[in-house]
Amino acid sequence: MREGDIIKGEITAIKPYGAFVKIDDKISGLIHISEFSDRYVRDIEDYVSVGDVIDLRIISIEDDDKLSLSFKSLHKRKKRYRIKLKSGFTPLKRKLKDWIQQYDKNRD
């Protein structure tokens, strides 16, 4: 087992700061909350539940066979692209001046 390897692990506990993972009887690890998504994570249970068996990437290995794991590197969500409107409110802004002038002419 080396850094960068992809392994399977079972979620055994969820805390506000991360999720604990059992790899086998001797090896366990932690997915820190920052390793679930590049975006703000309000609740880890939006991503995993206790008992889930998932693929994870090894970030680092401590001397006592404790692993630091990443969920987001393998389970990226598709990016949502914002549509940028070329015109926006600009045409209305341009027209407003004409409408005001037209209104003033009609009042006379």
pTM (two decimals)? 0.68
Domain, as residue range, for 22: 6-70
| Residue 13 resides in a domain | yes
In the predicted model, what is the mean pLDDT of residues 57-84? 78
Token pair of 91 as six digits: 């045409």
Q: Dump pLDDT digits (tens) for 24-63.
A: 988 999 999 999 988 888 999 989 999 999 999 999 998 8
Per-residue confidence (pLDDT) for residue 56, from 0 to 100: 94
| Residue 99 resides in a domain | no
Q: How far apart are CA 84 and CA 32, in angstroms?
A: 34
Confidence of residue 89 (pLDDT cuts 50, 70, 90): low
| Residue 87 resides in a domain | no
| Residue 23 resides in a domain | yes
Q: How far apart are CA 21 and CA 9, in angstroms?
A: 6
Instruction: Tell me which H or E stretch contains 12.
Output: strand 6-15
Number of folded domains that form the chain: 1
pLDDT greater at residue 84 or residue 21: 21
The CATH number given to whatever domain includes residue 36 is 2.40.50.140
| Residue 64 resides in a domain | yes
Q: How far apart are CA 96 and CA 105, in angstroms?
A: 14
